[in-house]
Amino acid sequence: MASKNQLARLTLSVLSATALLATAACGSSSGAAGASASASTDEWSKTGPINYVQGKDTSGYVQGILDKWNALHPDQKVTLVELSESADEQRAAMIKNAESKGASNYDVLSVDVVWTAEFAANGYLAQLPSSLDTSGYLKAAVDSGTYFNKLYAFPSTSDGALLYYRKDLLDAAGLQVPKTWSDMKAACAKIKTTNPSIDCYGGQFQKYEGLTCNFAEMVNSAGGQFLSSDGKPTVNTPQAVAGVQWAVDAFKDGTIPKAALTWKEEESRKAFQDGNLVFLRNWPYVYTLAQKTDGSSKVAGKFGVAPIPGLNGPGVSTLGGHNMGISKYSQNKGTALAFLKWYNSPENQKSNTLANSSAPTWTALYTDPELTSKFAYLPVLKASIDNAQARPKAVKYGDVTLAIQDAAYNALNGTAAPKAAMDDLQTKLQALVK
């Protein structure tokens, strides 16, 4: 197979009359990733300077913690490589690094939970040594870094959806925080009698990864599932379709404003902060910003957080977050592993949470008094994450999420009936997830 392949390439190269090409073609010869996927033990003892790669260091926290490490380990310095904030661009840069056999010199990578399967299967990430202890970390987060029962990425941060609600309006109407979608609708109907211009519920329904998260919550919160326990697609079950149907109806009757079809996190946050929404589904980051009293938020001090609602009871959040992996092409895996352990140690998780209001993966931090007094939402978030459902673990996750977004978008804007959209998605997923 391999030789036939190279022969074909060589023939083409000659046709192109470029001697250079012959070398180029040989650069990507065939071979199984399996052979070299697990690094040998002495590879894990090599030390030296490394690069840590992630999205933007938004608060400047990461550089600070790296300075700390570098002071402790002057001969194993870690340099921060900041990529774009866009997840797609981060993923593309990491793939490029791997496909050029580590040309970018990325050593430790901060990978989104949904990339684990792709990165592990393609041999972009080294399988972490089994000696690594993950007890004490959130089980869902550890599971998100695992592929075929092997750990490829260490839990670093987690994320779960929260329901932000207008406490003032609910109190004024004498209402409880809704646990189901129909409760929520009823609450809105009552609030609208005194606030006719306010919209009921908002989320992230623009066509991007956020739609996958929101849509998955609709399906999961109605008792449906994307994949069965043995990994087969089950998206056109009556439960799943019921969840989609609710979302479609909500758009039709105005429970969710039409504008939400253009919303990402920021646009939906703005709508809530401007006082145009009673309920908002969003990540924990909104909490700090919506509490700002500089005039940018009209709802400061007037809102609360709760777990997201579902069809017949509490809803199921989509699991988010980032894990830390080590590039297969890293030259200093020993340092990389030591840094990975140190970076995610309980005390550093705590300082990270304080600086970035991110969701920690060290379970005990959710009951840490210092943190809970600063971030009142932490217990709710813990409940959300404990109950959360991961997005499908697929090697071709990019195709899977696009198929989900297509189905969701077509259903939500009325191009396709919910059942038809989900049947179509079922067919596509069956081809993609094997």
Partner 1 sequence: MAVTTAERTAPVATKRKKNAFSDGQGALAAMLLAPTMLVLLLVAGIPIIMSVTESFFRTNDRIDPQTGLVQTGTNFVGFQNFTDIFAHPATVVGVYGSMDRLVNSFINTTLFTVVCVILETVLGVSMALIMAKAFRGRGLVRASILVPWAIPTIVSAMMWKLIFNTSGVANKVLGLTNNPILWLADNKYSQISIIVADVWKTAPFIGLLTLAGLQTIPAEVYEAARVDGANAWQTFVRITLPMVKPALVVAVLFRTLDTLRMFDLPYGMIGANKYSVETLSMFAYQETMQTRYGPAAAYSIILFFYIVLVAFLFVKLLGADVVGDEELKAVNAQRKRMKALHQQQAKAAGRVRTNVTSGSAAS
Partner 2 sequence: MTQVATPVIAHLTPEELGALNKPHRDISWWLGRIASAAGMALIVVYCLMPFYWMVISAFRLPTMGQSTDYWPSPASFENFVGVFSPQNNFLRAIVNSLVVSVTTTVLTLVFGIIGAYALARLRFAAKGLVLSIIIGCSMFPGVTLLVPLFKLFTGTYSWFPNWLNQYQAAIIPSLSFGLPLCVWNLTAFFRQLPVELEQAAMVDGCTPGQAFRKIILPLAAPGVFTTAILTFIAVWNEFMIALTFLQSKDMKTATVALSQFTGNLGYNIPYGSIMAAGVITTIPLLILVLFFQRRIVAGLTAGGVK
Count of residues touching partner 1 (by CB under 8 A): 59
Q: For residues 236 and 268, what is the distance between their CA atoms, to the nearest angstrom?
A: 29
263 touching partner 1, by CB under 8 A:
yes
Under 8 Å between Cβ of 403 and 425: yes
Task: Determine which residue in the list 101, 258, 292, 298 makes contact with partner 1, applying CB under 8 A.
Answer: 258
Binding at 45: pick from partner 1, partner 2, none (beta carbon under 5-8 Å per type): none
19 touching partner 1, by CB under 8 A:
no
Q: Considering only CA atoms, which of 111, 101, 161 is closest in space to residue 286?
A: 161
22 touching partner 2, by CB under 8 A:
no
Under 8 Å between Cβ of 398 and 117: no
Q: For residues 110 and 152, what is the distance between their CA atoms, to the nearest angstrom?
A: 12
**Phi then psi dihedrals of residue 83, to 5 deg:** -95, 180
For residue 340, the one-letter residue type is L
Start-to-end CA span in the chain (Å): 24
Q: For residues 362 and 345, what is the distance between their CA atoms, to the nearest angstrom?
A: 8
- Contacting range for partner 1; rule: CB under 8 A; set: 71-79, 113-121, 296-304, 339-347: 113-121
Q: For residues 243 and 408, what is the distance between their CA atoms, to the nearest angstrom?
A: 11
30 touching partner 2, by CB under 8 A:
no
Kindly state the smallest distance separating residue 427's Cβ from partner 2, in Å: 29
DSSP E strands in 271-397: the ranges are 277-282, 303-306, 320-326, 359-360
For residue 224, the one-letter residue type is G
Binding at 395: pick from partner 2, partner 1, none (beta carbon under 5-8 Å per type): partner 1
Q: Considering only CA atoms, which of 356, 423, 385, 417 is closest in space to residue 139?
A: 385
Of 23 and 182, which has the nearer Cβ to partner 2?
23
231 touching partner 1, by CB under 8 A:
no
Task: Determine which residue in the list 265, 386, 399, 423 makes contact with partner 2, applying CB under 8 A.
Answer: 265
Residues binding partner 1 (CB under 8 A): 1-2, 4-5, 8-9, 12-13, 16, 18, 20-21, 24-25, 28-34, 37, 88, 91-92, 95, 99, 117, 120-123, 147-148, 206-208, 258-259, 261-263, 267, 270-271, 274, 395-396, 398-399, 402, 405-406, 409-410, 413, 415-416, 434
Residues binding partner 2 (CB under 8 A): 20, 23-24, 27, 55-60, 80-85, 89, 93, 96, 99-101, 103-104, 264-267, 269-270, 283, 285, 288-289, 292, 294-297, 356-358
